[in-house]
């Protein structure tokens, strides 16, 4: 089934006080790349990082987007339940979802009450009680986007440091005994050195609840969005991966984790 993706447009319907609102950039129905099964993927507006390779640069600014009630998102999810099957559900992505943690809590509680599987796709650099509750209690799955394996590399790639916070949130998820995935973009000259992959092995290979490691190839599909925003794409001269590089990374990680996927 083909993915259905649409940009939200201004909505004149009233937002009731009883239903919190989220600042939403767009929604993808029938998504198949953001967690298990068929999913309703809600992209939130606003991110605390500015990754040089970001393919959704239009979601970085906190301004913009469209306010959408928790009630409306739940209605969409309930209407899609026949398509979710046993594995699908709702994924909250971004931007960075944890920036809106307090308002996500009632959404996840409502989805849980409807027996709908929930997933957060996060850069894991937003701390706080509400973010911790989402990570440790409410999310059925968390996908952690590991940006880099050194603080210097992390800051160079994203514009701020955050590696230690990511390590702590992943440890919190592991302690909760709930499943999670790691995603790592293999960027030539930035994240593809063997010692960086070895760090992933040393840091996480003993974690019992880490179900999957995904090696994602670097690509320039989002370059046009940077240009549309009037900004220069900083990695214009960085080449894309060869199939051999992706395979070498997979072979290095595979013996140490339950499942390693290269896309």
Task: Write down the residue that tokens 């440790």 correspond to.
Answer: 136
254 three-state secondary structure: helix
Sign, Cα dihedral of 231, 263, 101, 117:
positive
162, 164, 167, 169 alpha-carbon torsion, rounded to 10°: -70
Cα 75 to chain centroid distance, Å, stands at 22
pLDDT number for residue 9: 42
pLDDT number for residue 18: 66
- Does the pTM of the predicted model rise above 0.85? yes
How is residue 9 written in tokens? Answer: 């447009």
Are residues 89 and 118 in contact, defined by beta-carbon separation less than 8 angstroms? Answer: yes
Using the 8-state DSSP alphabet, how is residue 85 labeled?
T
Classify burial at 130, counting beta carbons within 10 Å of its beta carbon; exposed 0-12, middle 13-18, buried 19 or more: middle
131, 132, 138, 141 alpha-carbon torsion, rounded to 10°: 90
How is residue 240 written in tokens? Answer: 């894309």
Cβ neighbours for 65, distance < 8 A, ≥ 6 positions apart: 8, 23, 24, 25, 44, 45, 46
Are residues 8 and 22 in contact, defined by beta-carbon separation less than 8 angstroms? Answer: no
pLDDT number for residue 1: 33
pLDDT number for residue 153: 97
Which of 16, 120, 28 is CA-nearest to residue 71?
16
pLDDT number for residue 19: 84
Q: How far from 185 is each of 82, 85, 190, 213, 224, CA to CA, in Å?
A: 33, 29, 10, 11, 19
Spell out the per-residue pLDDT of the chain, length 263, in tens.
333 334 444 443 334 456 899 999 999 999 999 999 999 999 999 999 999 999 999 999 998 899 999 999 999 999 999 999 989 999 999 999 999 999 999 999 999 999 999 999 999 999 899 999 999 999 999 999 999 999 999 999 999 999 999 999 999 999 999 999 999 999 999 999 999 999 999 999 999 999 999 999 999 989 999 999 999 999 999 999 999 999 999 999 999 999 999 98
Using the 8-state DSSP alphabet, how is residue 256 labeled?
G
């Amino acid at each position: 089934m083909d993915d259905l993706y649409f940009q939200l447009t201004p909505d004149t319907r009233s937002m009731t006080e009883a239903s919190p609102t989220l600042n939403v950039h767009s929604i993808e129905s029938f998504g198949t790349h953001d967690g298990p099964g068929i999913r309703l993927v809600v992209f939130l507006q606003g991110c605390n990082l500015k990754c040089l390779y970001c393919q959704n640069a239009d979601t970085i600014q906190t301004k913009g987007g469209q306010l959408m009630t928790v009630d409306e998102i739940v209605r969409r999810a309930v209407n899609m339940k026949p398509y979710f099957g046993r594995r699908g559900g709702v994924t909250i992505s971004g931007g960075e979802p944890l920036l809106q943690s307090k308002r996500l809590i009632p959404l996840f509680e409502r989805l849980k009450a409807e027996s709908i599987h929930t997933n957060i796709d996060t850069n894991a650099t937003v701390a706080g009680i509400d973010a911790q509750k989402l990570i440790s209690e409410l999310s059925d799955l968390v996908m952690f986007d590991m940006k880099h394996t050194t603080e210097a590399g992390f800051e160079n790639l994203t514009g701020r440091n955050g590696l230690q916070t990511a390590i702590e949130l992943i440890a919190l998820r592991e302690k909760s005994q709930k499943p999670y995935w790691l995603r790592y973009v293999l960027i030539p000259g930035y994240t593809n050195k063997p010692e960086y992959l070895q760090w992933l092995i040393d840091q996480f290979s003993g974690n019992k609840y880490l179900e999957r490691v995904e090696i994602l190839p670097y690509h320039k599909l989002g370059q046009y969005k940077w240009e549309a925003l009037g900004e220069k794409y900083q990695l214009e001269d960085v080449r894309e991966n060869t199939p051999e590089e992706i395979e070498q990374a997979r072979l290095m990680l595979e013996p140490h984790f339950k499942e390693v996927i290269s896309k």
